[in-house]
Chain A
Amino acid sequence: MLSRYARRKLADVVVRSACVIATLIALVPLISVLYYVTVRGIGGINVEFFTELPKPVGESGGGMGNALVGTLKLVFLACAFGIPPGVLAGVYLAEFGESRFGRLVRFSADVMSGVPSITVGIFVYSLVVLQAKHFSAFAGGVALAVLMLPTVTRTTEELLKLVPESLREAALGLGVPKWRATLRVMLRTAAPGIATGVMLAVARVAGETAPLLFTAFSNPFWSSGLNEPTASLPMNIYNYAVSPYEEWHRQAWAAALVLLLLVLLLNISARLLVRSRVGAR
Protein backbone atom coordinates (compact mmCIF):
# COMPACT_ATOMS: atom_id res chain seq x y z
CA MET A 1 0.00 0.00 0.00
CA LEU A 2 1.42 3.30 -1.07
CA SER A 3 1.45 6.13 1.36
CA ARG A 4 -0.88 9.02 0.68
CA TYR A 5 2.00 11.20 -0.32
CA ALA A 6 3.46 8.67 -2.74
CA ARG A 7 0.04 8.19 -4.32
CA ARG A 8 -0.36 11.89 -4.81
CA LYS A 9 3.08 12.14 -6.34
CA LEU A 10 2.34 9.28 -8.70
CA ALA A 11 -0.95 10.86 -9.77
CA ASP A 12 0.87 14.10 -10.39
CA VAL A 13 3.45 12.40 -12.63
CA VAL A 14 0.81 10.49 -14.58
CA VAL A 15 -1.43 13.48 -15.21
CA ARG A 16 1.43 15.76 -16.01
CA SER A 17 2.91 13.32 -18.53
CA ALA A 18 -0.50 12.89 -20.14
CA CYS A 19 -0.71 16.66 -20.59
CA VAL A 20 2.77 16.87 -22.10
CA ILE A 21 2.05 14.01 -24.51
CA ALA A 22 -1.27 15.55 -25.57
CA THR A 23 0.49 18.85 -26.19
CA LEU A 24 3.12 17.16 -28.34
CA ILE A 25 0.42 15.40 -30.35
CA ALA A 26 -1.31 18.73 -30.91
CA LEU A 27 1.94 20.22 -32.10
CA VAL A 28 2.60 17.51 -34.68
CA PRO A 29 0.23 18.78 -37.38
CA LEU A 30 1.28 22.38 -36.82
CA ILE A 31 4.99 21.66 -37.07
CA SER A 32 4.56 19.34 -40.07
CA VAL A 33 2.49 21.86 -41.97
CA LEU A 34 5.03 24.59 -41.29
CA TYR A 35 7.91 22.33 -42.18
CA TYR A 36 6.37 20.86 -45.32
CA VAL A 37 5.16 24.15 -46.72
CA THR A 38 8.51 25.78 -46.04
CA VAL A 39 10.50 22.99 -47.68
CA ARG A 40 8.27 22.79 -50.75
CA GLY A 41 7.64 26.50 -51.08
CA ILE A 42 10.99 28.07 -50.38
CA GLY A 43 12.34 27.10 -53.83
CA GLY A 44 9.65 29.07 -55.64
CA ILE A 45 10.24 32.28 -53.74
CA ASN A 46 12.22 35.00 -55.44
CA VAL A 47 11.78 38.65 -56.27
CA GLU A 48 9.86 37.79 -59.41
CA PHE A 49 7.30 35.91 -57.39
CA PHE A 50 6.29 39.10 -55.60
CA THR A 51 6.44 41.47 -58.56
CA GLU A 52 5.54 39.60 -61.74
CA LEU A 53 2.26 38.44 -63.22
CA PRO A 54 1.74 34.73 -63.78
CA LYS A 55 3.22 33.48 -67.03
CA PRO A 56 1.18 31.30 -69.42
CA VAL A 57 1.64 27.56 -69.23
CA GLY A 58 4.90 26.42 -70.76
CA GLU A 59 6.85 29.56 -70.03
CA SER A 60 8.95 29.40 -66.91
CA GLY A 61 9.21 32.20 -64.36
CA GLY A 62 6.43 34.62 -63.58
CA GLY A 63 4.96 35.36 -60.17
CA MET A 64 1.91 36.16 -58.19
CA GLY A 65 2.31 39.86 -57.54
CA ASN A 66 -1.29 40.45 -58.55
CA ALA A 67 -2.58 37.79 -56.15
CA LEU A 68 -0.58 39.19 -53.26
CA VAL A 69 -1.92 42.68 -53.90
CA GLY A 70 -5.37 41.18 -54.41
CA THR A 71 -5.29 39.42 -51.04
CA LEU A 72 -4.17 42.59 -49.29
CA LYS A 73 -6.93 44.49 -51.04
CA LEU A 74 -9.54 41.92 -50.04
CA VAL A 75 -8.35 41.87 -46.44
CA PHE A 76 -8.43 45.65 -46.32
CA LEU A 77 -12.00 45.71 -47.63
CA ALA A 78 -13.03 42.99 -45.21
CA CYS A 79 -11.65 45.06 -42.33
CA ALA A 80 -13.36 48.20 -43.54
CA PHE A 81 -16.74 46.45 -43.86
CA GLY A 82 -16.42 44.00 -41.00
CA ILE A 83 -14.70 45.68 -38.07
CA PRO A 84 -16.84 48.78 -37.42
CA PRO A 85 -20.20 47.00 -37.34
CA GLY A 86 -18.66 44.04 -35.52
CA VAL A 87 -17.15 46.16 -32.75
CA LEU A 88 -20.26 48.28 -32.36
CA ALA A 89 -22.50 45.21 -32.23
CA GLY A 90 -20.16 43.83 -29.57
CA VAL A 91 -20.53 47.03 -27.57
CA TYR A 92 -24.29 46.74 -27.91
CA LEU A 93 -24.27 43.15 -26.66
CA ALA A 94 -22.01 43.98 -23.73
CA GLU A 95 -24.06 47.01 -22.70
CA PHE A 96 -27.63 46.06 -23.50
CA GLY A 97 -27.27 42.37 -24.32
CA GLU A 98 -29.65 41.10 -21.67
CA SER A 99 -32.74 42.23 -23.53
CA ARG A 100 -34.68 39.78 -25.66
CA PHE A 101 -33.29 41.41 -28.79
CA GLY A 102 -29.77 41.23 -27.38
CA ARG A 103 -30.09 37.52 -26.79
CA LEU A 104 -31.37 37.10 -30.33
CA VAL A 105 -28.37 38.99 -31.72
CA ARG A 106 -25.95 36.91 -29.65
CA PHE A 107 -27.60 33.70 -30.77
CA SER A 108 -27.46 34.82 -34.42
CA ALA A 109 -23.78 35.66 -34.07
CA ASP A 110 -23.08 32.22 -32.65
CA VAL A 111 -25.02 30.54 -35.44
CA MET A 112 -23.34 32.72 -38.04
CA SER A 113 -19.88 31.75 -36.87
CA GLY A 114 -20.81 28.15 -37.63
CA VAL A 115 -22.10 28.82 -41.16
CA PRO A 116 -19.85 27.16 -43.76
CA SER A 117 -17.82 29.74 -45.62
CA ILE A 118 -18.99 28.52 -49.02
CA THR A 119 -22.55 29.39 -47.96
CA VAL A 120 -21.43 32.91 -47.26
CA GLY A 121 -19.89 32.94 -50.74
CA ILE A 122 -23.18 31.97 -52.34
CA PHE A 123 -25.06 34.48 -50.23
CA VAL A 124 -22.82 37.35 -51.33
CA TYR A 125 -22.92 36.04 -54.88
CA SER A 126 -26.67 36.40 -55.03
CA LEU A 127 -26.66 39.65 -53.08
CA VAL A 128 -23.81 41.53 -54.77
CA VAL A 129 -22.46 39.70 -57.80
CA LEU A 130 -25.82 38.98 -59.44
CA GLN A 131 -26.85 42.60 -58.97
CA ALA A 132 -23.62 43.98 -60.40
CA LYS A 133 -23.49 41.21 -63.01
CA HIS A 134 -19.75 40.68 -62.52
CA PHE A 135 -17.24 39.43 -59.98
CA SER A 136 -15.35 42.05 -58.03
CA ALA A 137 -12.90 42.67 -55.23
CA PHE A 138 -15.75 44.53 -53.55
CA ALA A 139 -17.91 41.40 -53.46
CA GLY A 140 -14.97 39.39 -52.14
CA GLY A 141 -14.43 41.94 -49.39
CA VAL A 142 -18.09 41.77 -48.42
CA ALA A 143 -17.95 37.98 -48.23
CA LEU A 144 -14.88 38.02 -45.99
CA ALA A 145 -16.42 40.75 -43.85
CA VAL A 146 -19.54 38.65 -43.30
CA LEU A 147 -17.28 35.81 -42.16
CA MET A 148 -15.41 38.10 -39.76
CA LEU A 149 -18.49 39.72 -38.31
CA PRO A 150 -19.55 37.14 -35.72
CA THR A 151 -16.00 36.62 -34.44
CA VAL A 152 -15.38 40.34 -34.06
CA THR A 153 -18.75 40.87 -32.39
CA ARG A 154 -18.39 38.12 -29.84
CA THR A 155 -14.74 38.91 -29.10
CA THR A 156 -15.59 42.55 -28.46
CA GLU A 157 -18.47 41.57 -26.21
CA GLU A 158 -16.45 39.07 -24.21
CA LEU A 159 -13.53 41.44 -23.72
CA LEU A 160 -15.76 44.34 -22.72
CA LYS A 161 -17.35 42.09 -20.13
CA LEU A 162 -13.90 41.38 -18.72
CA VAL A 163 -13.36 45.07 -17.94
CA PRO A 164 -14.17 45.49 -14.24
CA GLU A 165 -17.49 47.18 -13.61
CA SER A 166 -15.72 49.32 -11.00
CA LEU A 167 -14.11 51.31 -13.82
CA ARG A 168 -17.49 52.20 -15.26
CA GLU A 169 -18.63 53.24 -11.79
CA ALA A 170 -15.49 55.34 -11.41
CA ALA A 171 -16.24 57.13 -14.66
CA LEU A 172 -19.95 57.59 -13.92
CA GLY A 173 -19.04 58.82 -10.44
CA LEU A 174 -16.96 61.52 -12.07
CA GLY A 175 -20.03 62.81 -13.83
CA VAL A 176 -19.19 61.26 -17.18
CA PRO A 177 -22.21 60.41 -19.35
CA LYS A 178 -22.74 56.71 -19.92
CA TRP A 179 -21.91 56.71 -23.64
CA ARG A 180 -18.63 58.43 -22.98
CA ALA A 181 -17.77 56.12 -20.12
CA THR A 182 -18.42 53.19 -22.45
CA LEU A 183 -16.31 54.51 -25.29
CA ARG A 184 -13.46 56.18 -23.47
CA VAL A 185 -13.09 53.97 -20.45
CA MET A 186 -14.60 50.54 -21.13
CA LEU A 187 -13.74 50.23 -24.83
CA ARG A 188 -10.39 51.91 -24.32
CA THR A 189 -9.47 49.49 -21.55
CA ALA A 190 -10.52 46.48 -23.63
CA ALA A 191 -8.92 47.84 -26.82
CA PRO A 192 -5.69 45.79 -26.85
CA GLY A 193 -7.62 42.58 -26.34
CA ILE A 194 -10.18 43.51 -28.97
CA ALA A 195 -7.36 44.36 -31.39
CA THR A 196 -5.92 40.91 -30.83
CA GLY A 197 -9.27 39.26 -31.45
CA VAL A 198 -9.79 41.30 -34.58
CA MET A 199 -6.32 40.44 -35.88
CA LEU A 200 -6.98 36.76 -35.38
CA ALA A 201 -10.27 37.09 -37.25
CA VAL A 202 -8.46 38.89 -40.06
CA ALA A 203 -5.77 36.22 -40.18
CA ARG A 204 -8.52 33.61 -40.36
CA VAL A 205 -10.32 35.15 -43.35
CA ALA A 206 -7.09 36.04 -45.17
CA GLY A 207 -6.70 32.37 -46.00
CA GLU A 208 -10.31 31.71 -47.01
CA THR A 209 -10.87 30.34 -50.52
CA ALA A 210 -14.46 29.19 -50.69
CA PRO A 211 -16.17 32.57 -50.23
CA LEU A 212 -13.97 34.05 -52.96
CA LEU A 213 -14.94 31.45 -55.57
CA PHE A 214 -18.10 33.28 -56.55
CA THR A 215 -17.23 36.76 -55.43
CA ALA A 216 -13.72 38.03 -56.14
CA PHE A 217 -13.18 35.11 -58.50
CA SER A 218 -9.71 35.26 -60.00
CA ASN A 219 -7.75 37.27 -62.48
CA PRO A 220 -4.50 36.47 -64.28
CA PHE A 221 -3.73 40.17 -64.63
CA TRP A 222 -3.38 43.16 -62.37
CA SER A 223 -6.80 44.39 -61.41
CA SER A 224 -7.32 48.06 -60.97
CA GLY A 225 -9.78 49.45 -58.50
CA LEU A 226 -12.23 47.41 -56.52
CA ASN A 227 -14.81 46.71 -59.18
CA GLU A 228 -12.98 44.02 -61.14
CA PRO A 229 -12.41 40.34 -60.53
CA THR A 230 -9.32 40.03 -58.37
CA ALA A 231 -6.69 37.37 -57.94
CA SER A 232 -5.95 36.24 -54.41
CA LEU A 233 -3.38 33.91 -52.91
CA PRO A 234 -5.81 31.25 -51.66
CA MET A 235 -7.63 31.13 -55.02
CA ASN A 236 -4.32 30.89 -56.87
CA ILE A 237 -3.14 28.11 -54.61
CA TYR A 238 -6.32 26.23 -55.38
CA ASN A 239 -6.15 26.81 -59.16
CA TYR A 240 -2.46 26.05 -59.42
CA ALA A 241 -2.53 23.02 -57.18
CA VAL A 242 -5.26 21.27 -59.20
CA SER A 243 -3.50 22.03 -62.50
CA PRO A 244 -1.44 19.31 -64.19
CA TYR A 245 1.70 21.42 -64.55
CA GLU A 246 4.77 20.85 -62.40
CA GLU A 247 5.82 24.50 -62.66
CA TRP A 248 2.43 25.62 -61.32
CA HIS A 249 2.63 23.21 -58.41
CA ARG A 250 5.91 24.80 -57.41
CA GLN A 251 4.26 28.20 -57.51
CA ALA A 252 1.29 26.99 -55.49
CA TRP A 253 3.65 25.88 -52.74
CA ALA A 254 5.42 29.20 -52.81
CA ALA A 255 2.05 30.99 -52.58
CA ALA A 256 1.08 28.79 -49.66
CA LEU A 257 4.27 29.74 -47.87
CA VAL A 258 3.71 33.44 -48.49
CA LEU A 259 0.13 33.17 -47.25
CA LEU A 260 1.33 31.35 -44.16
CA LEU A 261 3.91 34.04 -43.46
CA LEU A 262 1.28 36.73 -43.94
CA VAL A 263 -1.01 35.10 -41.40
CA LEU A 264 1.92 34.55 -39.05
CA LEU A 265 2.80 38.21 -39.36
CA LEU A 266 -0.74 39.22 -38.43
CA ASN A 267 -0.69 36.88 -35.46
CA ILE A 268 2.63 38.17 -34.22
CA SER A 269 1.58 41.78 -34.53
CA ALA A 270 -1.57 40.95 -32.60
CA ARG A 271 0.54 39.50 -29.82
CA LEU A 272 2.86 42.48 -29.83
CA LEU A 273 -0.15 44.71 -29.36
CA VAL A 274 -1.00 42.88 -26.17
CA ARG A 275 2.58 42.95 -24.98
CA SER A 276 2.88 46.69 -25.56
CA ARG A 277 -0.09 47.12 -23.24
CA VAL A 278 1.48 45.13 -20.44
CA GLY A 279 4.78 46.88 -20.86
CA ALA A 280 3.19 50.31 -21.02
CA ARG A 281 4.47 52.68 -18.44
Chain B
Amino acid sequence: MSVGSQSKISRPNHRRGSAGDDKSRWDEVSVSALVPKMRTEDLHAYFGQTEVLKGISLQIAEKQVTAVIGPSGCGKSTFVRCLNRMHEVVPGARATGQVLLDKQDIYQGDVDAVRVRRRVGMVFQKPNPFPTMSIRDNVLAGLRLNGERPDDPDAVVEKMLQRVALWDEVKDILGRAGTGLSGGQQQRLCIARSLALEPEVLLMDEPCSALDPIATARVEELIHELRKSYTIVIVTHNMQQAARVANFTAFFYLGKLIEHDRTDVIFTRPKEPRTEDYITGRFG
Protein backbone atom coordinates (compact mmCIF):
# COMPACT_ATOMS: atom_id res chain seq x y z
CA MET B 1 0.00 0.00 0.00
CA SER B 2 1.44 3.29 -1.00
CA VAL B 3 0.86 6.09 1.39
CA GLY B 4 2.98 8.73 -0.24
CA SER B 5 -0.08 10.89 -0.62
CA GLN B 6 -0.59 10.88 3.09
CA SER B 7 2.84 12.32 3.71
CA LYS B 8 2.83 15.31 5.90
CA ILE B 9 5.24 17.97 4.98
CA SER B 10 6.34 20.74 7.22
CA ARG B 11 5.60 24.32 6.44
CA PRO B 12 8.48 26.12 4.80
CA ASN B 13 8.76 28.58 7.68
CA HIS B 14 8.82 25.87 10.26
CA ARG B 15 11.85 25.80 12.52
CA ARG B 16 13.88 22.78 11.61
CA GLY B 17 14.49 21.13 14.90
CA SER B 18 15.08 17.45 15.30
CA ALA B 19 12.02 15.34 14.98
CA GLY B 20 9.91 15.27 18.03
CA ASP B 21 10.73 18.62 19.49
CA ASP B 22 8.28 21.45 19.33
CA LYS B 23 5.42 19.04 19.26
CA SER B 24 2.46 21.37 19.27
CA ARG B 25 3.43 22.96 15.98
CA TRP B 26 4.41 19.68 14.37
CA ASP B 27 0.97 18.42 15.07
CA GLU B 28 -0.49 21.11 12.93
CA VAL B 29 1.72 20.39 9.94
CA SER B 30 -0.43 19.75 6.92
CA VAL B 31 0.01 17.51 3.94
CA SER B 32 0.66 19.64 0.93
CA ALA B 33 2.32 22.75 2.22
CA LEU B 34 5.63 22.30 0.40
CA VAL B 35 6.87 21.39 -3.04
CA PRO B 36 9.06 18.31 -2.75
CA LYS B 37 12.67 18.42 -3.96
CA MET B 38 12.41 14.93 -5.34
CA ARG B 39 9.52 12.63 -6.01
CA THR B 40 9.29 9.08 -7.25
CA GLU B 41 6.25 7.78 -9.08
CA ASP B 42 5.65 4.06 -9.32
CA LEU B 43 9.37 3.29 -9.23
CA HIS B 44 10.27 -0.30 -9.96
CA ALA B 45 13.85 -1.54 -9.83
CA TYR B 46 15.24 -4.87 -10.97
CA PHE B 47 18.42 -6.90 -10.77
CA GLY B 48 18.07 -9.14 -13.78
CA GLN B 49 14.69 -10.83 -13.32
CA THR B 50 14.38 -10.02 -9.62
CA GLU B 51 12.14 -7.12 -8.79
CA VAL B 52 13.64 -5.31 -5.83
CA LEU B 53 11.43 -2.23 -5.73
CA LYS B 54 7.76 -2.78 -6.40
CA GLY B 55 6.27 0.57 -7.24
CA ILE B 56 7.55 3.19 -4.85
CA SER B 57 5.87 6.58 -4.80
CA LEU B 58 7.52 8.86 -2.32
CA GLN B 59 8.10 12.56 -1.85
CA ILE B 60 11.32 13.93 -0.51
CA ALA B 61 10.91 17.32 1.11
CA GLU B 62 13.38 20.04 0.35
CA LYS B 63 16.01 20.82 2.98
CA GLN B 64 14.74 18.13 5.27
CA VAL B 65 16.26 14.85 6.29
CA THR B 66 14.33 11.84 5.11
CA ALA B 67 15.34 8.52 6.63
CA VAL B 68 14.67 5.24 4.86
CA ILE B 69 14.39 2.33 7.27
CA GLY B 70 13.50 -1.31 6.92
CA PRO B 71 14.90 -4.79 7.36
CA SER B 72 17.82 -6.03 5.25
CA GLY B 73 16.90 -6.70 1.66
CA CYS B 74 13.84 -4.45 1.68
CA GLY B 75 15.27 -2.35 -1.15
CA LYS B 76 16.18 0.77 0.79
CA SER B 77 19.70 0.97 -0.62
CA THR B 78 18.44 0.27 -4.11
CA PHE B 79 15.89 3.02 -3.66
CA VAL B 80 18.45 5.73 -2.91
CA ARG B 81 20.69 4.44 -5.67
CA CYS B 82 17.81 5.01 -8.06
CA LEU B 83 17.62 8.63 -6.95
CA ASN B 84 20.91 9.49 -8.66
CA ARG B 85 20.94 6.72 -11.23
CA MET B 86 23.68 4.77 -9.54
CA HIS B 87 21.45 1.70 -9.58
CA GLU B 88 22.02 1.12 -13.27
CA VAL B 89 25.81 0.99 -12.76
CA VAL B 90 25.48 -2.60 -11.58
CA PRO B 91 25.40 -4.99 -14.56
CA GLY B 92 21.91 -6.27 -15.20
CA ALA B 93 20.24 -3.62 -13.06
CA ARG B 94 17.47 -1.42 -14.42
CA ALA B 95 14.63 0.72 -13.21
CA THR B 96 11.26 1.86 -14.53
CA GLY B 97 8.92 4.58 -13.41
CA GLN B 98 9.59 8.20 -12.71
CA VAL B 99 12.08 9.94 -10.48
CA LEU B 100 11.49 13.67 -10.49
CA LEU B 101 14.17 16.11 -9.47
CA ASP B 102 12.67 19.58 -9.41
CA LYS B 103 9.88 18.27 -11.62
CA GLN B 104 12.25 16.88 -14.24
CA ASP B 105 12.21 13.13 -14.74
CA ILE B 106 15.84 12.00 -14.42
CA TYR B 107 15.03 8.73 -16.15
CA GLN B 108 13.88 10.40 -19.35
CA GLY B 109 15.84 9.42 -22.42
CA ASP B 110 17.72 12.64 -22.97
CA VAL B 111 18.85 13.12 -19.37
CA ASP B 112 22.54 12.49 -18.78
CA ALA B 113 23.04 10.26 -15.72
CA VAL B 114 26.45 11.81 -15.16
CA ARG B 115 24.87 15.24 -14.73
CA VAL B 116 22.22 13.91 -12.40
CA ARG B 117 24.93 12.53 -10.12
CA ARG B 118 26.55 15.93 -9.85
CA ARG B 119 23.31 17.40 -8.54
CA VAL B 120 22.48 14.44 -6.35
CA GLY B 121 25.61 13.49 -4.43
CA MET B 122 26.18 10.21 -2.67
CA VAL B 123 27.97 8.99 0.44
CA PHE B 124 28.56 5.27 0.71
CA GLN B 125 28.40 2.75 3.48
CA LYS B 126 32.13 2.22 3.67
CA PRO B 127 34.30 5.32 3.56
CA ASN B 128 36.03 5.24 0.17
CA PRO B 129 38.56 8.05 -0.20
CA PHE B 130 40.80 7.68 -3.24
CA PRO B 131 43.96 5.95 -2.00
CA THR B 132 46.22 7.59 -4.57
CA MET B 133 45.23 11.07 -3.49
CA SER B 134 46.08 13.27 -0.53
CA ILE B 135 43.41 14.62 1.80
CA ARG B 136 43.47 17.87 -0.13
CA ASP B 137 43.19 16.16 -3.52
CA ASN B 138 40.36 13.98 -2.27
CA VAL B 139 38.29 17.06 -1.50
CA LEU B 140 39.02 18.41 -4.96
CA ALA B 141 38.64 15.05 -6.69
CA GLY B 142 35.07 15.60 -7.87
CA LEU B 143 35.99 18.89 -9.47
CA ARG B 144 39.31 17.74 -10.92
CA LEU B 145 37.98 14.46 -12.30
CA ASN B 146 35.31 16.48 -14.05
CA GLY B 147 38.00 18.62 -15.63
CA GLU B 148 37.30 21.72 -13.57
CA ARG B 149 39.96 23.95 -12.11
CA PRO B 150 38.66 26.00 -9.22
CA ASP B 151 40.16 29.50 -9.06
CA ASP B 152 41.25 29.07 -5.48
CA PRO B 153 41.51 25.37 -4.70
CA ASP B 154 42.87 26.00 -1.20
CA ALA B 155 39.78 28.00 -0.33
CA VAL B 156 37.53 25.21 -1.60
CA VAL B 157 39.43 22.66 0.46
CA GLU B 158 39.22 24.73 3.62
CA LYS B 159 35.56 25.59 3.14
CA MET B 160 34.51 22.00 2.53
CA LEU B 161 36.58 20.58 5.36
CA GLN B 162 35.17 23.28 7.66
CA ARG B 163 31.69 22.33 6.58
CA VAL B 164 32.20 18.71 7.63
CA ALA B 165 34.03 19.79 10.80
CA LEU B 166 37.23 18.07 9.76
CA TRP B 167 39.40 21.11 9.12
CA ASP B 168 40.89 21.46 12.58
CA GLU B 169 41.86 17.81 12.64
CA VAL B 170 43.59 17.71 9.26
CA LYS B 171 44.69 21.26 8.42
CA ASP B 172 48.34 20.42 9.10
CA ILE B 173 48.36 17.12 7.23
CA LEU B 174 46.52 18.02 4.02
CA GLY B 175 49.27 16.39 1.96
CA ARG B 176 48.92 13.00 3.63
CA ALA B 177 46.98 10.11 2.11
CA GLY B 178 43.26 10.25 2.79
CA THR B 179 43.30 6.55 3.58
CA GLY B 180 45.53 7.21 6.58
CA LEU B 181 42.71 8.86 8.53
CA SER B 182 40.44 7.06 10.97
CA GLY B 183 37.19 5.59 9.65
CA GLY B 184 35.06 8.45 10.93
CA GLN B 185 37.44 11.04 9.54
CA GLN B 186 37.49 9.24 6.20
CA GLN B 187 33.71 9.28 6.08
CA ARG B 188 33.61 13.02 6.77
CA LEU B 189 36.29 13.46 4.10
CA CYS B 190 34.05 11.60 1.66
CA ILE B 191 31.15 13.85 2.59
CA ALA B 192 33.37 16.89 1.97
CA ARG B 193 34.31 15.40 -1.39
CA SER B 194 30.63 15.14 -2.33
CA LEU B 195 29.81 18.62 -1.05
CA ALA B 196 32.63 20.17 -3.10
CA LEU B 197 30.45 19.64 -6.17
CA GLU B 198 27.72 21.74 -4.52
CA PRO B 199 25.01 19.11 -4.93
CA GLU B 200 21.40 19.92 -4.14
CA VAL B 201 20.57 16.56 -2.66
CA LEU B 202 22.84 14.33 -0.60
CA LEU B 203 22.14 10.60 -0.47
CA MET B 204 23.70 8.71 2.40
CA ASP B 205 23.66 4.93 2.22
CA GLU B 206 24.16 3.72 5.81
CA PRO B 207 26.96 6.24 6.29
CA CYS B 208 27.65 5.22 9.88
CA SER B 209 27.40 1.46 9.75
CA ALA B 210 31.18 1.09 9.51
CA LEU B 211 31.85 3.64 12.27
CA ASP B 212 32.15 3.45 16.03
CA PRO B 213 29.62 5.28 18.25
CA ILE B 214 31.75 8.40 18.67
CA ALA B 215 32.40 8.77 14.95
CA THR B 216 28.71 8.08 14.38
CA ALA B 217 27.79 10.90 16.71
CA ARG B 218 30.10 13.24 14.79
CA VAL B 219 28.48 12.34 11.49
CA GLU B 220 25.01 12.75 12.96
CA GLU B 221 25.90 16.20 14.26
CA LEU B 222 27.11 16.95 10.80
CA ILE B 223 23.81 15.87 9.28
CA HIS B 224 22.07 18.27 11.65
CA GLU B 225 24.23 21.05 10.28
CA LEU B 226 23.95 20.03 6.64
CA ARG B 227 20.18 19.91 6.53
CA LYS B 228 20.12 23.68 6.69
CA SER B 229 21.51 23.78 3.17
CA TYR B 230 20.87 20.39 1.61
CA THR B 231 18.10 17.92 1.04
CA ILE B 232 19.26 14.70 2.65
CA VAL B 233 18.11 11.13 2.23
CA ILE B 234 19.70 8.72 4.65
CA VAL B 235 19.39 4.95 4.61
CA THR B 236 19.84 3.43 8.02
CA HIS B 237 19.20 0.14 9.71
CA ASN B 238 19.55 1.88 13.04
CA MET B 239 16.15 3.13 14.16
CA GLN B 240 17.55 5.30 16.91
CA GLN B 241 19.61 7.01 14.27
CA ALA B 242 16.55 7.66 12.14
CA ALA B 243 14.78 9.06 15.19
CA ARG B 244 17.74 11.30 15.98
CA VAL B 245 18.51 12.79 12.59
CA ALA B 246 15.45 12.63 10.38
CA ASN B 247 12.42 14.89 10.02
CA PHE B 248 10.67 12.30 7.91
CA THR B 249 10.92 8.56 7.92
CA ALA B 250 9.89 6.08 5.27
CA PHE B 251 9.47 2.44 6.19
CA PHE B 252 10.22 -0.08 3.44
CA TYR B 253 9.34 -3.72 3.56
CA LEU B 254 9.89 -6.33 0.82
CA GLY B 255 10.36 -3.72 -1.88
CA LYS B 256 7.31 -1.72 -0.95
CA LEU B 257 6.81 1.55 0.83
CA ILE B 258 4.69 0.73 3.85
CA GLU B 259 4.50 4.08 5.55
CA HIS B 260 5.96 7.54 5.19
CA ASP B 261 5.34 10.22 7.71
CA ARG B 262 6.95 12.59 10.14
CA THR B 263 9.56 10.76 12.16
CA ASP B 264 7.79 11.36 15.47
CA VAL B 265 4.57 9.96 14.06
CA ILE B 266 6.28 6.86 12.67
CA PHE B 267 7.92 6.17 16.00
CA THR B 268 5.05 7.01 18.33
CA ARG B 269 1.81 6.26 16.53
CA PRO B 270 2.38 4.52 13.22
CA LYS B 271 -0.72 3.79 11.19
CA GLU B 272 0.48 0.48 9.83
CA PRO B 273 0.75 -2.55 12.11
CA ARG B 274 3.84 -3.73 10.18
CA THR B 275 5.59 -0.46 10.91
CA GLU B 276 4.77 -0.83 14.55
CA ASP B 277 6.00 -4.42 14.57
CA TYR B 278 9.28 -3.36 13.01
CA ILE B 279 10.01 -0.37 15.20
CA THR B 280 9.15 -2.29 18.32
CA GLY B 281 11.54 -5.02 17.25
CA ARG B 282 9.05 -7.77 16.61
CA PHE B 283 10.75 -8.65 13.31
CA GLY B 284 13.60 -7.55 11.08
Contacts and interface: CB of A to CB of B under 8 A. Distances in A.
A and B held together in a complex: yes
Interface stretch (B18-26, B117-125, B151-159): B117-125
Interface string B118-162: 100110101011111010000001100110000000000000000
Given A169-B86, A180-B145, A184-B145, A175 B128 contact: no
Interface string B184-203: 00000010011001000000
Contact of B190 (A170, A175, A184): A170
Given A176-B145, A185-B145, A281-B175, A167 B114 contact: no
A174 B124 contact: no
A176 B89 CA distance: 12
A188 B124 CA distance: 21
A75 to B, nearest CB: 28
A174 B132 contact: no
B134 A169 contact: no
A280 interface: yes
Contacts of A184: 145
Contacts, number: 70
Given A174-B117, A174-B118, A174-B193, A166 B128 contact: yes
B176 interface: yes
A167 B128 CA distance: 6
In the complex, which range does the number of interface residues on chain A fall in? 20 to 34
Nearest to A183: B145
Main secondary structure of the interface of A (DSSP, over half): helix
Contacts of B121: 173-174
Interface residues of B, number: 30
A166 B117 CA distance: 16
Contacts of B145: 171, 174, 176, 180-181, 184-185
B115 A175 contact: yes
A176 B114 contact: yes
A172 interface: yes
Nearest to B91: A98
B114 A175 contact: yes
B177 interface: yes
Interface in B16-49: none
A174 B142 contact: yes
B84 interface: yes
A177 interface: yes
A176 B196 CA distance: 13
Interface string A176-194: 1100110011001101000
Given A175-B114, A281-B134, 19 more contacts: A164-B128, A166-B124, A166-B126, A167-B128, A167-B130, A169-B86, A171-B141, A173-B84, A173-B86, A174-B121, A174-B194, A174-B197, A175-B118, A175-B197, A176-B146, A185-B130, A189-B130, A189-B131, A280-B177
15 contacts: A166-B126, A166-B128, A169-B86, A169-B128, A170-B124, A170-B130, A173-B121, A173-B122, A174-B141, A174-B197, A175-B114, A175-B117, A175-B118, A180-B146, A189-B132
10 closest cross-chain pairs (CB), A and B? A175-B118, A174-B142, A173-B122, A175-B117, A166-B128, A176-B145, A170-B128, A177-B114, A175-B114, A189-B132
Interface of B: 84, 86, 89, 91, 114-118, 121-122, 124, 126, 128-132, 134, 141-142, 145-146, 175-177, 190, 193-194, 197
